[in-house]
Amino acid sequence: MNEPPRWPLHAITPLLWEIPPSARADMRAPARVYATAALLEEIRRDRSLEQLVNVATLPGIVGWALAMPDAHEGYGFPVGGVAAFDLEAGVISPGGIGYDINCGVRLLRSTLTRAGVAAAAPNLGRTLFAAVPSGVGRSGMLQLTGRELDAVLEGGAQRMRELGYASERDLAHTESAGRLEGADPARVSAHARARGEDQLGTMGAGNHFVEVGYVEQVFDAAAAERMGLAAEQATVLIHTGSRGLGHQVATDFIRRMNQAMAGYGITLPDRELACAPFASADGQAYVAAMAAAANFAWANRQMITFEVRQAFARVFGPREAELELVYDVAHNIAKVEEYTVGGERRRVVVHRKGATRAFPGDPVLIPGSMGTASYVLEGAPGALAASFGSSCHGAGRRMSRTRARREASAAALRTELAALGITVNAGSRRGLTEEAPLAYKDVDEVVNVIHAAGLARKVARLRPLVVVKG
């Protein structure tokens, strides 16, 4: 295997590194990485930096191409990547959003305590595993066709409120109120629609999960109080996205844009960066389909929330089934936002691919691996000027799924997690070993970079008790 190139990285601060545009003739902007020196060496081991440099060559890029401390190699763009493009001169690239459109995280708070959940952990794990369909190809309780599916693609979580699966409070605590404007179901192919018809309310496989944990540590008491969080309080994290529907939307438009780029005079160092001018017919068609898939994802997480509440009611009784939503935030999405760049106020389309929105005062949810911890942060003003209002999205992989399967034993992993007081319900050994803690970076180190760099402030650390995976 060839060693990745050693790109020239200059330290702007001890936590911010830059590859200057002079590093390669086709770069239109610098490429910046938030990381400690140790994390940077991990990032250097794959093609993340090369992919970041490639992003910096795209037409109409504004400011910098950015990588967060959880960055690792992805499709076209690195996972953990952020890039903003001018609305007139810039492009939209499906690779900068990812195949799982609006993969995101939802945090619920409970009136239960750590002790209450721990006492019921085996029963709760089994009940959640039965309540939330997981794994490849699993169907949900709703079968949507025709206009019913259109209503979800247009309305997102707001449609789930109309169907009785969400409350007004749920919508108020969801990014964009659970609905991205501009969605056009007609831009979603028949194949994509077919893949989504029976998948609402399903978790899928890979790194998706439902996790019941507790607040292990509070760093900012005032912020935690605003979010309704307290030490020892039980919590629920839900991590999933748009399932097969979103994957097919990405597949369809990557193919379409690869065929169309020559007509726009766009040449790329990597075909995985396939793109079209944002303002073009191809670009706007993708934006409309992406919004529809994003709405499907918000509806999906809302439906899973309904299923989780039902499971809690069965285990603990109806009083404990309320599970109030703290926040729901996407980390694979493109949105039109406004920033000051180079002293000029500009509207740009921000691509976040494995990166979480971190607006001042908003919760920022950072899941770790199932054997370590997750974090709740609060967006800081510094993110607006430094990272287009963005943060990391998790611990970030340090090894491939193939290598994780080689190095981790499902039986040993279950024993290890049990020793930590963690109950795991998983649909397959493969799904378990691929997501072993050893496959991920140190989430504490990743989050400390974000905190110290002023992108988001630490509020609370969560520890898992019950994990459900596909």
Q: Please check whether residue 86 is in contact with residue 60, taking contact to mean a CB–CB distance below 8 angstroms.
A: yes
Rounded to the nearest 10 degrees, how much is the dihedral formed by the CA atoms of 264, 265, 270, 274? Answer: 0
With beta carbons less than 8 A apart as the criterion, state whether 349 and 191 touch.
Answer: no
Q: What are phi and psi of 197, to 5 degrees?
A: -55, -35
Strand-pairing partners, residue 215, are 462
Q: Which two tokens stand for residue 172?
A: 């108020």
Q: Please identify which of the residues 72, 247, 351, 393 carries the catalytic annotation.
A: 393
Rounded Cα distance, 174 and 165, in Å: 14
Name which of 195, 61, 76, 57 is nearest 138 in CA terms.
195
Which run of H or of E encompasses 352? Answer: strand 344-353
Rounded-to-integer distance, Cα 88 and Cα 29, Å: 17
Nearest to 236 by CA among 134, 126, 106, 373: 106
Q: Which residues pair with 329 in a beta bridge?
A: 105
Element of type H or E holding 55: helix 48-55
Q: Are strands 344-353 and 79-86 parallel, antiparallel or unpaired?
A: antiparallel
Distances (CA, A) of 150 to 144, 188, 193, 358: 9, 10, 9, 30
Could you identify the residue written with the tokens 């496989």? 205
Residue 361 burial by CB count (10 A; 0-12/13-18/19+): exposed, middle or buried? exposed
Phi-psi region for residue 265, left (φ > 0), alpha (ψ -120 to 50) or beta? Answer: left
Contact, 432 vs 469, CB < 8 A? Answer: yes
> What is the rounded distance in angstroms from the CA atom of residue 78 to the CA atom of residue 70?
10
Distance of CA 369 to the CA centre of its chain: 14
Is 451 annotated as catalytic? no
> Among all residues, which ones are annotated catalytic?
393
